[in-house]
Amino acid sequence: MKGLRLTCASALSIFFNYGYGDYDPQPLYWKSRLIDASFPDYGKQESFDKRLSGLNIPELADGHGPSLGGCPRESD
């Protein structure tokens, strides 16, 4: 994921590369805790999070979760 910040007053441009180097981007777990009921598809997200909690993935117990490379696949 890339980001760009422009500061017009000083004509300064700073480019960011997220997920490169020592840190890879992580999936967002428990999204329903970060959004409210007015968010589009909130109910679907809440349902997904409930199913996610039933998977008994140890890393989810601390509120984070596995990295993309450590996510179980449907075929596992």
Residue among 66, 74, 75 nearest 29 (CA):
66
Decide if 50 is inside a domain: yes
State mean pLDDT over 46-74: 79
Instruction: With cut-offs at 50, 70 and 90, classify the pLDDT of residue 2.
Output: low
Decide if 65 is inside a domain: yes
CA angle 62, 73, 58 (to 5 degrees): 20
User: Residue 46 CB: number of other CB atoms within 10 A?
Assistant: 15
Decide if 75 is inside a domain: no
Please give the full DSSP string across 5-48, using - where no structure is assigned: EEETTTTEEEEEETT-TT--------GGGTS-TTSTTHHHHHHH
Domain count along the chain: 1
In the prediction, which pLDDT does 38 show? Answer: 95
State mean pLDDT over 3-25: 62
Structural domain boundaries, residue 37: 2-70
Decide if 76 is inside a domain: no
In the prediction, which pLDDT does 59 show? Answer: 81
